[in-house]
Amino acid sequence: MEMRLHPHAWHRRQPDWAAAVTAGLIGGAVLMVLELAWSASVSSGDNPWRSSQLIAAIVMGEGVLQTASFSIGVVAVALATHYVLGIVFGLLLAFIIAGFRFESRAGMLELIGLGFGAVLYLVNFHGMTAFFPWIAELRGWAAFIGHLVFGLTVAMAYPWLERGASAR
């Protein structure tokens, strides 16, 4: 008679990295559109490109914040920064989803996405302000809701993209 102390083996499933990158890009694009719509609606004659300047300053330095004028270079750096961060956070969320096998449970995916978005907001706007203090200017409900939508978008897009890749 053989006694098995570990009758099942748990193997961590590897994420579909291409689907994770694409989901991160989609989530980043949705967040950027929300941020642009929000900043345009509340700017009331001020600088509607302020959020782009604040994001670009992460890469370009605080000097970017000194001007109120539009700059295609600043906007390009802000877009690139958003997309790179979207990809990184998309990869991280896909790692969590695949590792714990949440792909097939839609309700759990939504909760994981919303929780991830909330934690991401706290890290970005409360933790990272130690390194980039000007980011605190973006704190608020609009940014919080935007990050919830980002997490939800990535969490829902990743399994859909992963299934699409396996069907090909």
Tell me which amino acid residue 131 is: F
In a domain, 1, yes or no: no
HSE, CB side, 13 Å, CA atoms: give it for residue 18: 6
In a domain, 8, yes or no: no
- Which range marks the domain in which residue 89 is found? 18-40+47-167
Tens digit of each residue's pLDDT (9 = 90 or more) over 44-91: 557 778 888 999 999 999 999 998 788 999 999 999 999 999 999 999
In a domain, 138, yes or no: yes
If 0-12 CB within 10 Å is exposed, 13-18 middle and 19+ buried, where does residue 63 land? exposed
Q: What's the pTM?
A: 0.85
Tens digit of each residue's pLDDT (9 = 90 or more) over 129-157: 999 999 999 999 999 999 999 999 999 99
Of 138, 147, 148, the C-alpha closest to 51 is: 138
Angle between helices 72-99 and 106-122 (to 10 degrees): 130
